[in-house]
Chain A
Amino acid sequence: MAKPFRSTRRGITGALEPGEARLLGALLGDVIALLEPETGPSEDPLAALVGMSGTDADAAAPDDSAVRRLLPDAVRDDDDEALSFRRLTERSLREQKIGALRSSALMIESSPMSLNDEQARYLAQALNDVRLVLADRLSIETEADAERLHEVADAKDVDDVDSYLALVYNFVTWLQESLVQAMLKASRLER
């Protein structure tokens, strides 16, 4: 079992078991694949350069509910306004997220990990995105739904795909909580 993250003089440290690192690496890869924009050859190079989505057609609210949660509307109750904002910002948001997910995939290959503040932040963001996608696949819509999943805490509780996903979700939740606690502790010591 992974060791909880700790705040030390050498930064934030943590260690995953090889199987856990492989699993997490696959999950990070899945989220990257969800976020990678489908870039056509007709992409306007100037628009791409300034991080604007190329054409009107490719900036629609995502069909996949998990992607919609990763890239939510920035304006509520006004679809036109939300869409025009999405056209200006979505491409660069996707790229930022992919950047954090890719760096995290590299970080978790080392055991033990020793992370600086920026790396720890990227990893916390990436773990959060993984949890958002898993939660969507598990249809976690309310806090009661989330509570129910906590019961799946051990491999012996797993008897189908959903309970396996729940176990994975709980593991990533535990990992993120331990990382954030270590980061909060580190920031208290700095002040």
Chain B
Amino acid sequence: MTVGFASGTDTLEEVATTESTDLDQPWVVVVWNDPVNLMSYVSFVFRSYFGYSEAKARTLMLEVHEQGRSAVVSGTREKVEQDTVALHAYGLWATFEKAGSE
């Protein structure tokens, strides 16, 4: 991911988040890092599409950025298929897979 160089308003908050992605469900949506999508935009998508808090969206976005991938949501196969297409509509690079296949 990249940083919009003209921003300057993106406040870096130190967040001790106890939220984690619930991986009890059998399928997950994985978002992959790419050099084009803006960090702010990826956070925005996680907030607006999944309804995540600002802190959780940011944590997941940083996981994608730093680790190259992050399982951002879990659920039934039908749900993860739908979420993957929705993220493609936003332009994110997303795939779905069985939980724990990484």
- A→B interface (CB under 8 Å): 4, 69-76, 85, 89, 92-93, 96-97, 100, 121, 124-125, 128-129, 131-132, 135, 140-143, 145-146, 150, 170, 173-174, 176-178, 180-181, 183-185, 187-188
Q: Which of B4, B47, B54, B90 contacts A174 (CB 8 A)?
A: B4
Q: Which residue of A lies closest to B7 (CB)?
A: A177
Measured in the bound complex, the distance between the Cα atoms of B43 and A188 in whole Å is: 13
Q: Which of A76, A184, A187 contacts B95 (CB 8 A)?
A: A76
Measured in the bound complex, the distance between the Cα atoms of B29 and A75 in whole Å is: 10
Task: Note all chain A residues with C-beta closer than 8 A to B97.
Answer: 75-76
> Can you list 6 residue pairs at the A/B interface with Cβ under 8 Å?
A74-B81, A97-B89, A125-B89, A146-B35, A174-B6, A178-B4
Q: Which of B44, B85, B90, B96 contacts A184 (CB 8 A)?
A: B44
Task: Note all chain A residues with C-beta closer than 8 A to B59.
Answer: none
B40 touches A180 (CB 8 A): yes
Does B88 have its Cβ within 8 Å of any Cβ on chain A?
yes
10 residue pairs, one from A and one from B, having the closest CB atoms: A177-B4, A128-B91, A135-B36, A174-B6, A146-B35, A180-B40, A143-B35, A76-B95, A74-B84, A96-B89
A74 touches B88 (CB 8 A): yes
Task: Note all chain B residues with C-beta closer than 8 A to A121.
Answer: 48
Measured in the bound complex, the distance between the Cα atoms of B89 and A142 in whole Å is: 22
- B→A interface (CB under 8 Å): 1-2, 4-7, 9-10, 30, 35-38, 40-41, 43-44, 47-48, 54, 81, 84-85, 88-91, 93-97
State whether A72 and B7 are in contact (beta carbons under 8 Å apart), knowing that A132-B36, A145-B35 are contacts in the complex.
no
- Counted as pairs of residues, one from A and one from B, with CB atoms less than 8 Å apart, the total is 102
A74 touches B91 (CB 8 A): no
Task: Note all chain B residues with C-beta closer than 8 A to A135.
Answer: 35-36
Report A75 CB to chain B, min CB distance, Å.
Answer: 6
Measured in the bound complex, the distance between the Cα atoms of B40 and A4 in whole Å is: 15
Extra contacts, 14 of them, besides A174-B6, A184-B47 (Cβ < 8 A), are: A72-B93, A74-B85, A124-B41, A135-B35, A141-B35, A174-B4, A177-B38, A178-B6, A180-B38, A180-B41, A181-B10, A184-B43, A184-B44, A185-B9
Q: Which residue of B lies closest to A92 (CB)?
A: B85
Report A150 CB to chain B, min CB distance, Å.
Answer: 6
Measured in the bound complex, the distance between the Cα atoms of B43 and A124 in whole Å is: 13
State whether A71 and B36 are in contact (beta carbons under 8 Å apart), knowing that A76-B95, A174-B6 are contacts in the complex.
no
Task: Note all chain A residues with C-beta closer than 8 A to B85.
Answer: 74, 89, 92-93
A180 touches B36 (CB 8 A): no
Measured in the bound complex, the distance between the Cα atoms of B8 and A4 in whole Å is: 12
Measured in the bound complex, the distance between the Cα atoms of B54 and A89 in whole Å is: 30
